[in-house]
């Protein structure tokens, strides 16, 4: 029986909030000249997970007021890098993971966990710039179990909301999934489901989108989603021994977000008014009230509209034509009786 | 002269009765055709629809918990605004099966209404089962929605979409709406509405249902 271990989930969640949630506190502006560092602590309970490679990617620069500017190549991926909550940051990490693997983006820094299950960045003589980072951990096997670290975003420096202060040396505890190594080959199913967030612009949707399934970062299959296949697809019989990821080919005019819910990858495309990326933070807050941008607009509300409506002012006529039957019968009988009476009258006159 | 006029009246009367007869025969024939139409569609839909929805598959084996990341969550839960998927049978696009045990009815439901479609099977008038605002219109053939007026409050109704997701409802209200009451038909917080013509065709028998929690 499979066992799940999510010991670090809560810790990471706390960290995500600590590091990424916006604040209007008076923590002051970010000292961009200050050295920043990240330590990843990777453990299964008290057991350090050793020799696990973590790669970090510099996704966005940050200015003194907490505003992000995406770096190359992340600016081209049509993602919204201003998460409004923990779930949005998680989705951003999941989305970017696919693009990083597909395009083989070179990590900003890489390192392996040591005997205590920790790895610190920058490694060697490198240095890190303040900003937003994506952190990816590689699949790891230890003591008969397979560990998959969940990708996550981290901002350096992080905002300690309790202390109202910027923390320049940050420690992160990654969330992970853990399963025993299967004794027999196991196959898995993966689904992709397209969600459109395009209230009022439904007619402008592209007729099709292209989705790629990656196996260990390499394109394994390419499928086209359309209204005809209900914007969804299912892959079955996939070898569980590989890491499966889904990416959407970039779509002009939409931001993309990929989240995983069970076996389903939900790809959400949100309509943007302009093809050009929107300025992330149009107005800079005052230096006294640093504010990490809060991200995408609130979710649009678009109820499903009927595809057909009655053309006239009436509800559809859904009845058989029965009413003439008694009317015709009654009228016919009356005429027959009347006719018989006339004939009888004519006979009597003769 | 009177005799001749009497014969004309009798002949006209016979013609009217003959017209009533032929109309009756046509209606009965049409009713039978409608029954055969839904019967074959039900058979094909039942063969197509998976027996267990994703959610049921997961809960069916409680002794072996499925890992969280291997759970299959129904698509409509992940995206309630999604269009209801359809299955095409003989060129007609169906969104699922409607069952009303109290009326001994099992009917296919077409995705969009039109007068030709209404002759084949009940049709979605508007809304979605996923958004709890589905309205289904049906012809009052005996084999379609002709028995709706017999449906009492508290009776059970189920709708199964083509993915195999089953939605359970209970009849809450039965009302008669005028044929012009479009706004009234579409208003109200009803999870499922079924309607058909009254026998005289002037009003609509309307069944309002609430989804079981």
So what's the pLDDT on residue A345? 81
Q: Which residues of B touch A337 (CB under 8 A)?
A: 13
Q: Which residues of B touch A321 (CB under 8 A)?
A: 23, 27, 201
- A263:B69 CB<8 A: yes
How many CA atoms, within 13 angstroms, populate the side-chain half-sphere of residue B35?
12
Separation of alpha carbons A108 and A122, rounded Å: 9
Q: Is the pLDDT of residue A219 over 90?
A: yes
So what's the pLDDT on residue A165? 86
The winner for highest mean pLDDT among A57-71, A83-97, B25-39, B96-110 is B96-110
So what's the pLDDT on residue A184? 83
CA distance B210 to chain A (A): 19
Q: Is the pLDDT of residue A161 over 50?
A: yes
Count of residues for chain B? 213
CA distance A285 to chain B (A): 36
Percent of chain A with pLDDT over 70: 80
CA distance B51 to chain A (A): 18
3-class DSSP state of B89? strand
DSSP B183-204: HHHH-S--SEEEEEE-TTSSEE
List the domains of chain B with CATH numbers. Answer: 2-211 (2.40.260.10)
- Give the class (CATH, top level) of A1-181: mainly beta
Q: Is the pLDDT of residue A20 over 80?
A: no
Q: Which fold has domain A182-280?
A: Immunoglobulin-like (2.60.40)
pLDDT per position as a tens digit, A108-136 = 999 999 999 999 999 988 889 999 999 99
Nearest to A315 among B14, B31, B179 (CB): B179
- B2:A314 CB<8 A: no
The overall average pLDDT reported for chain B is: 89
Over residues A273-299, the mean pLDDT reads 41
- A308:B139 CB<8 A: no
So what's the pLDDT on residue A29? 86
Over residues A329-335, the mean pLDDT reads 93
Token readout for B65 is 């918990």
Nearest to A306 among B1, B81, B127 (CB): B127
DSSP H or E stretch at residue A178: strand A176-180
Q: Is the pLDDT of residue B137 over 90?
A: yes
Lowest mean pLDDT among A44-53, A196-205, A297-306: A297-306
Nearest to B131 among A231, A304, A347 (CB): A304
| Cis amide linkage into residue A73, ω under 30° from 0 | yes
How many CA atoms, within 13 angstroms, populate the side-chain half-sphere of residue B50?
10
How many CA atoms, within 13 angstroms, populate the side-chain half-sphere of residue B179?
14
- A315:B27 CB<8 A: no
What confidence tier does B1 reach under pLDDT thresholds 50, 70, 90? low
So what's the pLDDT on residue A264? 95
Nearest to A303 among B75, B85, B131 (CB): B131
So what's the pLDDT on residue A59? 94
- A315:B139 CB<8 A: no
- B10:A346 CB<8 A: no
So what's the pLDDT on residue B54? 54
Searching chain B, which residue's CA lies closest to the CA of residue A344? B3
Residue from B137, B37, B34 nearest B90 by CA: B37
Q: Which residues of B touch A261 (CB under 8 A)?
A: 73, 78
Q: Is the pLDDT of residue B169 over 90?
A: yes
Size of interface A-B (CB pairs under 8 A): 200
pLDDT per position as a tens digit, B188-204 = 899 999 999 988 788 99
CA distance B170 to chain A (A): 23
The overall average pLDDT reported for chain A is: 81
Q: What are phi and psi of A276, to 5 degrees?
A: -70, 140
Task: Give, in degrees to the nearest 5, the angle at Cα A55 between A50 and A60.
Answer: 145
So what's the pLDDT on residue A119? 95
Asked whether the ipTM of the predicted complex exceeds the cut of 0.85, the reply is no
**Ordered alpha helix ranges (H), chain A:** 9-20, 86-103, 324-349
Instruction: Indicate the DSSP class of residue A100.
Output: H
So what's the pLDDT on residue A5? 41
Separation of alpha carbons A36 and A169, rounded Å: 6
Edge-to-edge strand ranges of the sheet holding A244-248: A218-226, A208-215, A244-248
pLDDT per position as a tens digit, B106-121 = 999 999 999 999 999 9
Lowest mean pLDDT among A161-165, A299-303, A320-324: A299-303
So what's the pLDDT on residue A279? 40
Nearest to A230 among B9, B10, B85 (CB): B85
Over residues A147-174, the mean pLDDT reads 90
So what's the pLDDT on residue A278? 43
So what's the pLDDT on residue A298? 39
Residue B192: Cβ within 10 Å count = 26
CA distance A63 to chain B (A): 36
Are the C-beta atoms of A140 and A49 separated by less than 8 Å? Answer: yes
């Amino acid at each position: 029986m499979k066992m799940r271990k999510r010991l670090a989930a809560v810790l990471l969640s706390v960290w995500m909030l600590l590091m990424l949630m916006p604040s209007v506190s008076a923590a002051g502006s970010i000292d961009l000249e200050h050295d920043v560092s990240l330590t990843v602590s990777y453990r299964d309970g008290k057991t350090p997970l050793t020799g696990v490679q973590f790669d970090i990617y510099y996704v966005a620069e940050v200015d003194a007021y907490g505003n992000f500017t995406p770096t190359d190549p992340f600016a081209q991926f049509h993602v919204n890098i201003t998460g409004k909550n923990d779930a949005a940051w998680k989705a951003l990490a999941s989305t970017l993971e696919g693009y990083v693997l597909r395009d083989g983006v070179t990590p900003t820094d890489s390192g392996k966990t040591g005997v205590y299950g920790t790895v610190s960045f920058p490694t060697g003589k490198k240095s890190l710039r303040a900003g937003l980072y994506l952190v990816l951990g590689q699949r790891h096997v230890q003591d008969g179990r397979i560990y998959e670290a969940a990708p996550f975003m981290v901002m350096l420096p992080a905002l300690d909301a309790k202390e109202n202060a910027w923390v320049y040396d940050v420690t992160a505890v990654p969330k992970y999934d853990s399963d025993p190594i299967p004794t027999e080959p196991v196959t898995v199913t993966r689904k992709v489901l397209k969600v459109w967030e395009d209230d009022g612009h439904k007619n402008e949707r592209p007729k099709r989108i292209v989705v790629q399934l990656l196996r260990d970062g390499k394109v394994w299959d390419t499928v086209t989603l359309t209204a005809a296949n209900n914007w969804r697809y299912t892959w079955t019989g996939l070898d569980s021994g590989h890491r499966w990821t889904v990416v959407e080919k970039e779509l002009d005019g939409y931001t993309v977000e990929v989240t995983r819910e069970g076996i389903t990858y939900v790809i959400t495309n949100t309509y943007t008014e302009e093809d050009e990326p929107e300025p992330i933070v149009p107005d800079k807050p005052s230096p006294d009230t640093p504010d990490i941008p809060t991200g995408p607009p609130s979710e649009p509300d678009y109820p499903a509209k009927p595809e057909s409506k009655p053309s006239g002012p009436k509800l559809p006529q859904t009845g058989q034509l029965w009413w003439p039957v008694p009317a015709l019968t009654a009228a016919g009988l009356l005429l027959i009786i009347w006719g018989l009476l006339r004939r009888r009258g004519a006979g009597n006159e003769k | 002269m009177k005799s001749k006029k009497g014969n004309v009246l009798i002949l006209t009367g016979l013609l009217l009765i003959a017209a009533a007869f032929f109309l009756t025969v046509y209606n009965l024939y049409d009713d039978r055709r409608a029954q055969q139409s839904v019967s074959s569609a039900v058979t094909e839909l039942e063969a197509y629809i998976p027996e267990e929805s994703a959610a049921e598959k997961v809960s069916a084996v409680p002794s072996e918990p499925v890992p969280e990341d291997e759970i299959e969550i129904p698509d409509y839960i992940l995206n309630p605004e999604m269009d209801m998927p359809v299955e095409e049978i003989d060129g007609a696009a169906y969104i699922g099966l409607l069952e009303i045990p109290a009326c001994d009815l099992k009917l296919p439901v077409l995705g969009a209404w039109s007068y030709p479609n209404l002759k084949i099977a009940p049709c979605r008038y508007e809304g979605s089962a996923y958004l709890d605002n589905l309205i289904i219109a049906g012809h009052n053939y005996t084999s379609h929605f002709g028995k709706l007026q017999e449906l009492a409050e508290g009776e059970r109704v189920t709708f199964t979409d083509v993915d195999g997701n089953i939605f359970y409802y209970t009849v809450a209200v039965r009302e008669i709406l005028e044929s012009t009451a479009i706004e009234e038909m579409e208003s109200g917080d009803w999870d499922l509405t079924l309607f058909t013509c009254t026998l005289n065709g002037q009003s609509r028998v309307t069944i309002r249902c609430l989804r079981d929690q």
